[in-house]
Every structure is written in structure tokens, then in C-alpha cells.
């Protein structure tokens, strides 16, 4: 690391803030992704399927329209 | 390209691309940091503070790129109703906001030793602050409207209206007297920056751009999953309602 002179604090603060902000953003996106995958797995475990996945409400195991 | 309109195919492609792009980003970033601190010389006027440029300038470019992407995606939402356009726009907003904040903060930290102040209300700084507020407005709009289709159309209108700020940011240093320096890289007549610094800046700009792409792919993937969860929760409610009848 070269000698950053009298303004080293400003330079290091700029780089430090940049990496902290990017790390926070990346962590947020990863945590959000994991949370959604867990929710998706929970719903699939309950037998819920998306219509575009080839199944409608009636396709839920053991369930159908009563009327 | 049309096959990418299918979210499932997009998820598959993103899943395969993200690890490679992330590795490439980390490599390029490490090389860029080495060039920024150990190869690029200090500036004859600004001294060592010129090293702030290697994060400030790429962040500012990507702040504008992110909004331009939102504007194009907004057209995709309103005109072509592309299934991934709204997903792309929504995913880009927090990333663009973060890069705008980085540009504002690093610019401020560069301004204090060079200008003697952290902030002035000049056209470049103010228009960048407006860009940050536009990003926050878009994020708030998506949060405020629950139904993704309605939220997407409302955000697309704001996204397109706000795009007028991009040329204002770019040309603010030409149209008004600003404390911020005029364009020194993307300008007629070529860059005015010494090639010894330009190389480090180019590598850092490439690394930041790849970083943006990786984060955007990850955020788009999460947004597609969110919409699937929402759709499945709605089906769960429908099942419950059918069971009660």
C-alpha cells in the first residue's frame, strides 16, 4: 500500500464505504433469495403448485371442488 | 432472445451464469484495486486523492446506467408487456440506488479535500441527488402497490418520466457553471486523463459493470421467485375458500 498522504482518511473512507455498501446490498439479495426459496419449498411441501407448472387448484392432492 | 422471455429458462440460464460472472468480477476487481493503489500514479494537482476516482466514476456511470436500464425496461412493460421487463426494472432499482449513494458519498469525500466542502448545490451534485430520490421513489412505489402488474405499470410511468434526469446529469457540467469538473473521459476529442490512470479506471469500470450485472441477475432471480411465492399463496387462499364452501 503506497503512502496515501495527508488525505488518507478520505481515500480509505471512500473505498471502505463502497465495499460496505456493495457487501450490504449483496447480502440483502442473497438473504432475500434464500428466504423466498424456503417459502417456495414450504408451499410445495403443502402440495400447492403454480397453474403454469401444469396444475390448477383442483390438482392439489386430496382436494377438489365440493359444490 | 425470445426464449429468455420465459422466466423458467431465465432462471436456468442465470443459475449457470452467476457463478462464472461472480468469479470474473472478483478477479477483475482484485486487478483493478491493484492498479488503483500500486500502479496508477498520484495526480500532479490532486495528489493521492485522485485514487477516489477509481470507485467514484464507475459508481456514477452505473448509477446512470441503472436508470437507463429501468427506462428501457419500462418501455418493455408498457408497450411490449414483456414478462421479464418489470422484473428487470424492479430488480435494478435498489442496485442503481446503491451505486448512486456510493457516487454521492465518495464524491463528497473527494470534494472535501479538493474543494474545501463536502457538498455544494451545483447542477451535477443536485441532479445526482435527484437520481437517488427517483430510485427511492420507484422502490417505494413497488412496495406500496401489492399487485405486481399494477405496481409495474405505475413504476414504468415514473421510470420513463424520471429518465429526463439522465441527460441533465450528463450535460449539467456543460449547461451550467458547476464546481464539479467537466467531462474528462466520455467527451469529444477523447479523454483528458493520463493513460497511466485511464487503464486502472477502465479495469475498475469493467469490474463494477460486471458486479452490477451479477447483482442484477441475482435480484431478478429473487424477484421471479417472489412472484411465484405470491401466486402460490393466492392459490393456497383459493383452496382454503373452496374447502369452506
pLDDT for the residue A61: 42
Q: Give the single-character DSSP code of B208.
A: H
Question: Which of B79, B76, B82, B162 is CA-nearest to residue B127?
Answer: B162
Q: Which residues of B touch A66 (CB under 8 A)?
A: 242-243, 245
pLDDT for the residue B46: 84
Residue spans of beta strands (DSSP E) within B105-156: none
φ, ψ for residue A55, nearest 5 deg = -145, 135
ipTM summary value? 0.90
Q: What is the mean pLDDT of residues B65-83?
A: 93
**Partner A, chain B 220-239, Cβ-Cβ below 8 Å:** 221-222, 225-226, 228-229, 231-233, 235-236, 238-239
Alpha carbons B74 and B56: distance in angstroms, whole number: 27
pLDDT in tens, B118-162: 999 999 999 999 999 999 999 999 999 988 889 999 999 999 999
pTM: 0.89
Choose, out of B44, B59, B102, the residue to mutate when testing the contact with A (most A CBs < 10 Å). B102
Q: Which residues contact B10 (CB under 8 A, 6 or more apart)?
A: B4, B84, B220, B221, B224
Alpha carbons B179 and B191: distance in angstroms, whole number: 19
Choose, out of A2, A5, A12, A18, the residue to mutate when testing the contact with B (most B CBs < 10 Å). A18
pLDDT in tens, B81-128: 887 999 999 999 999 999 999 999 999 999 999 999 999 999 999 999
Amino acid at each position: 500500500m503506497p503512502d496515501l498522504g495527508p488525505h488518507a482518511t478520505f481515500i480509505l473512507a471512500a473505498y471502505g464505504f463502497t465495499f460496505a455498501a456493495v457487501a450490504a446490498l449483496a447480502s440483502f439479495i442473497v438473504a432475500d433469495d434464500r428466504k423466498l426459496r424456503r417459502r417456495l419449498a414450504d408451499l410445495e411441501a403443502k402440495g400447492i403448485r403454480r397453474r403454469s407448472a401444469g396444475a390448477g387448484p383442483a390438482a392439489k392432492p386430496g382436494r377438489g371442488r365440493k359444490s | 432472445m425470445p426464449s429468455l422471455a420465459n422466466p423458467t429458462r431465465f432462471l436456468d440460464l442465470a443459475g449457470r451464469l452467476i457463478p462464472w460472472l461472480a468469479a470474473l468480477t472478483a478477479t477483475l476487481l482484485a486487478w483493478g484495486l491493484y492498479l488503483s493503489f500500486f500502479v496508477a500514479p498520484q495526480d500532479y494537482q490532486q495528489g493521492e486523492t485522485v485514487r477516489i476516482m477509481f470507485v467514484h466514476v464507475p459508481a456514477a456511470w452505473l448509477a446512470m446506467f441503472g436508470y437507463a436500464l429501468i427506462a428501457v425496461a419500462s418501455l418493455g412493460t408498457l408497450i411490449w408487456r414483456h414478462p421479464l421487463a418489470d422484473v428487470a426494472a424492479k430488480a435494478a432499482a435498489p442496485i442503481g440506488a446503491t451505486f448512486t449513494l456510493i457516487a454521492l458519498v465518495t464524491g463528497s469525500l473527494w470534494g472535501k479535500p479538493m474543494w474545501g466542502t463536502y457538498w455544494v448545490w451545483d447542477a451535477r451534485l443536485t441532479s445526482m441527488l435527484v437520481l437517488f430520490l427517483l430510485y427511492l421513489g420507484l422502490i417505494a412505489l413497488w412496495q406500496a402497490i401489492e399487485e405486481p402488474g399494477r405496481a409495474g405499470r405505475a413504476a414504468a410511468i415514473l421510470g420513463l418520466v424520471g429518465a429526463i434526469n439522465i441527460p441533465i446529469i450528463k450535460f449539467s457540467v456543460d449547461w451550467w457553471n458547476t464546481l464539479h469538473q467537466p467531462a474528462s473521459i466520455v467527451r469529444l476529442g477523447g479523454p483528458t486523463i493520463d493513460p497511466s490512470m485511464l487503464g486502472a479506471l477502465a479495469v475498475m469500470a469493467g469490474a463494477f459493470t460486471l458486479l452490477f450485472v451479477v447483482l442484477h441477475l441475482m435480484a431478478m432471480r429473487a424477484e421471479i421467485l417472489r412472484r411465484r411465492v405470491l401466486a402460490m399463496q393466492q392459490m393456497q387462499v383459493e383452496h382454503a375458500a373452496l374447502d369452506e364452501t
